[in-house]
Structure 1
Amino acid sequence: MLKKNKVEHIFFDLDHTLWDFDKNSALTFDFLFKKHEVNTKLADFLKFYEPINLKYWKLYRDEKVSKDNLRYNRLKETFDALQFSIEDDLINTISEDYINHLSSFNHVFDGTIELLDYLKTKYNLHIITNGFKEAQNNKLKGSKLDHYFTTVTSAEVAGVKKPNPQIFNFALKLANANSANSIMIGDNYEADILGALDIGLDAICFNYHKATISPEIKVVNHLLDIKKYL
Structure 2
Amino acid sequence: MNPNFVFFDLDNTLLNHDSAEAAAQNDLYESTPELQEVSQDEWLSTYKSVNHKLWLQYQEGKIDRHGLQISRFHDTMDKLELSTDRSEEIGYNYMQFYQNHWSWVEGAREALEKVVEKHPVGIVTNGFLETQQMKIQKMGLDQYTNLFVITEEIGVMKPHQKVFDVATERAGVDRESILYVGDSYSSDIVGGRNAGWNTAWFTMFVSEIEEDQTADFQFDQFPMLTNYLNGSGKGT
Deviations 1:149-183 (A, max 9, x none): 33111112122211111111111222223312211
Structure 1 residue 15, shift from structure 2 partner: 1.0
8 Å CA contact retained: 1:187, 1:205: yes
Structure 2 Cα separation of the partners of residues 24 and 150 of structure 1: 25
Q: Which residue of 1 aligns with 2:77?
A: 79
1:176 to 169, 172, 176: 172
- Which stretches of structure 1, 4 residues or more, deviate above 6 A after TM superposition? none
1:183-198 aligned at under 5 Å gives the runs 183-198=179-194
Under a length normalisation based on structure 2, what TM-score does the superposition of the two structures give? 0.83
Change (3 A) 1:112 1:168: same
Change (3 A) 1:123 1:50: farther
Structure 1 residue 226, shift from structure 2 partner: 1.4
Structure 2 Cα separation of the partners of residues 160 and 85 of structure 1: 34
8 Å CA contact retained: 2:77, 2:87: no
8 Å CA contact retained: 1:28, 1:102: yes
8 Å CA contact retained: 2:185, 2:213: no
Give the counterpart letter for 2:26 in structure 1.
D
Structure 2 unaligned segments of length 5 or more: list them: 230-236
2:43 to 32, 42, 45: 45
Q: Percent identity?
A: 25
How many residues align? The count is 224
Q: Which residue of 2 aligns with 1:226?
A: 225
Deviations 1:100-139 (A, max 9, x none): 4422222221111111111110111111111111101111
Change (3 A) 1:224 1:59: farther
Q: Which residue of 2 aligns with 1:99?
A: 95
Q: Which residue of 1 aligns with 2:119?
A: 123
Structure 1 Cα separation of the partners of residues 50 and 142 of structure 2: 29
Task: Tell me whether 37-46 or 157-166 shows the greater mean CA deviation.
Answer: 37-46
Structure 1 residue 91, shift from structure 2 partner: 1.3
Under a length normalisation based on structure 1, what TM-score does the superposition of the two structures give? 0.85
Change (3 A) 1:149 1:41: farther
Structure 2 Cα separation of the partners of residues 226 and 78 of structure 1: 39
CA RMSD of aligned residues (A): 2.2
Determine helix, strand or coil for the equivalent of 1:103.
helix
Deviations 1:60-103 (A, max 9, x none): 2222332123223332444355x35122x411112233334422
Task: Tell me whether 33-42 or 68-77 shows the greater mean CA deviation.
Answer: 33-42
1:67 to 65, 68, 84: 65
Structure 2 Cα separation of the partners of residues 224 and 45 of structure 1: 37
8 Å CA contact retained: 1:162, 1:195: yes
Structure 1 unaligned segments of length 5 or more: list them: none
Q: Which residue of 2 aligns with 1:159?
A: 155
Q: Which residue of 2 aligns with 1:133?
A: 129
Structure 1 residue 188, shift from structure 2 partner: 1.2
